[in-house]
Amino acid sequence: MLGLSEDAVVLAFGEILMRLSPPSNLRLEQTTSLDVRYGGAEANVALSLAYQGDRAAFVSVVPEGRVGDCALRSLSSYGVDVSRVVRQGDRLGSYIFEVGASQRGNAALYDRKYSAVSLASHVVFDWDELLEGTGVLYVSGVTPAVSDELAVACAEALAAARDRGILTVCDLNYRGKLWSAERAQEVMRGLMPFVDVCVANDEDAPFSLGMTCVSGSLENGIAEREDYVEMARQICSEYGCRAVASVIRDVESVERSRWMGMLYLSERDVHWFSPVHDVHVLEGVAAGDAFSAALIHAMLHDLDPQDAIDYAIAGSVLKLSIRGDSNLVSEAEIGAVARKGSGVRVAR
């Protein structure tokens, strides 16, 4: 779809965290034990791509020692190349993820201050070496929010990738607990001219880019789907992106929602919507990362735009059926859901 080769290496740049979760939907105050997993937006994308059979690599800063080893093993055991990871620093960041229920939303409590990557200088990343053999660079708005040094590193990575003709993909992924909207817009508006494919929804775009054409509501996204097209058109017009993709949701409760996807290509000024999926949600974390990974997979395998967005949203909704950050579903499983569809296809 965008001229990629199937065997291109996708390099994801970000922070991997230890995730601690109370079991059985308990609140933190109730639990006497915590389930341990590992994840993080960019790490999740790399793992999902590897599980689909693609060549995925991850770059970050991770401390030496058993905890850091466990974090990297959670990726390498599924085929992610972690040889580019810089090993230094004293601690791995973590977060507590509390699974909600009904009208009680999910909650994330971060403990990533003084993590190895947050204290790292941008100069530890030699992008000439790190980008060698890379076909796609993936970043998200989470990484530059972690520190000013990582914001510089993201800018350098994207610029180096652009100079080398490497396709760049960025999920806006706004995190209000990490930075303000004002700081996010200052940084992300500087990064966007180096982005080929932007993943954006009506929550992230207003905070990250100051956009006003979308409501930011999670309750009526599907009815407002044409606003997403206008959002994509404006992003491509202002920043020169080649494509924008979005997850569009109607969220009824923690467990019930309706999901669809949108893909916009700027060269042709045309868009596609996926079918609508009625979803029973087991755990609503990292579905956006699963969407990005499935979209990149679709681009690597040159799916036509309609098949690409159908595949991307299928990967995303399957993640909602899996506990933990990792989308452990194969290309065949995602493809089966994409071909079957769900609900009624929205006219375009």
3-class DSSP assignment, residue 144: helix
Q: Which residues contact 171 (CB under 8 A, 6 or more apart)?
A: 41, 138, 139, 140, 141, 198, 199, 200, 204, 288, 289, 292
Say yes or no to pLDDT of 346 above 70.
no
Exposure on the CB side of residue 112, measured as CA atoms within 13 A: 28
328 Cα distance to chain centroid: 15
Higher confidence at residue 42 or residue 104? 42
Phi/psi of residue 280, each to 5°? -95, 115
State the Cα–Cα distance between residues 61 and 17, nearest whole angstrom.
11
Mean pLDDT of 283-293: 94
> What's residue 344's pLDDT?
41
So what's the pLDDT on residue 348? Answer: 42
pLDDT digits (tens, 9 = 90+) for 293-339: 999 999 999 999 999 999 999 999 999 999 999 999 999 999 999 99
The better pLDDT of the pair 290, 26 is held by: 290
| 100 compared with 66, residue with greater pLDDT | 66
116-167 confidence digits (pLDDT tens)? 999 999 999 999 999 999 999 999 999 999 999 999 999 999 999 999 999 9
Query: How do residues 35-50 score in pLDDT, each as one tens digit?
Result: 999 999 999 999 999 9
Angle, helices 305-319/331-340, rounded to nearest 10 degrees: 110
Confidence of residue 106 (pLDDT cuts 50, 70, 90): confident
State pLDDT tens for residues 201-215: 988 999 999 999 988
Q: Which domains does the chain have, with CATH numbers?
A: 9-13+44-60+124-340 (3.40.1190.20)
Label residue 220 by pLDDT band (50, 70, 90): confident
Per residue in 8-36, pLDDT (tens digit) is: 999 999 999 999 999 988 999 999 999 99
Burial group, residue 119, by CB count within 10 angstroms (0-12, 13-18, 19+): middle
- pLDDT for 343: 44
Amino acid identity of residue 92, one-letter, is L
Look at residue 347 in the predicted model and tell me its pLDDT. 35
What is the pTM assigned to this prediction?
Answer: 0.95
State residue 148's pLDDT score.
Answer: 98
